[in-house]
Structure 1
Amino acid sequence: MTQPKLPAQYMIAGALDLLQKRSHGDRIVGQSRETFMRIMLPYQVDDSGVVLNRDYKPLGVHTRDRVRYVDFGNWVIPDDRLDFSVNEHGRHMFNDGDAPWLTARHFERYVDRVRRVFDL
């Protein structure tokens, strides 16, 4: 039986769908594609299960201020709901050399990887 999706899974799926419907040069919600990706897409899942963006903030958080991960319980996905075995980067979704905003190919591979890891 498939488990119901968690809030972080819905957020990730929505961000990926939005990006896939736009061309590479489009601005998204008033931001460059790269900025949108850095804020809204997963870069890492920390040891407590909080899904972090490229700035090591919970998904959707865009600030230079420190944040307490415990304040973002809605963005937690327990390890038993994730499949890191399909990801060559372990708990990280990409390295700086294959960031999804660098090329269309990197983006396609990232989307495939994230959909498998997060069961989207």
Structure 2
Amino acid sequence: MRKKQAKILIVDDQEEILFSAKMILKKHFEEIFTTNNPKKLLNILGENQIDVVLLDMNYRIGFEDGREGIHWLKEIKTLSPKTVVLLMTAFGKIETAVEGMKIGAFDYILNLGII
């Protein structure tokens, strides 16, 4: 099976999610980037032509409202409007999903910590 010519960026604070997603996706796509720090994603986007971002919605312990993910989605869409962004969270809310889709997310995935 031939790998697709795409660059994927996974942003999640949980190392096991990053590792698992990378192992699964590297079988199908040429380049997989990961970071557990959303502050680094803008540098990665600036240095690489990323096709798809898998973006976690929450990074700080005790915060599960998805505001961080919405913030980073806006930043991604400003810097790289054509990049496809898939929002993922274990703490889904309809309001956050709708807001994310209106801003430009391609999809909103409730992952429950399972990949």
| TM-score for the superposition, normalised by structure 2 | 0.27
- Judging by fraction of residues, say which structure has more strand: 2
TM-score (norm. length: structure 1): 0.26
Structure with the largest fraction of helix: 1
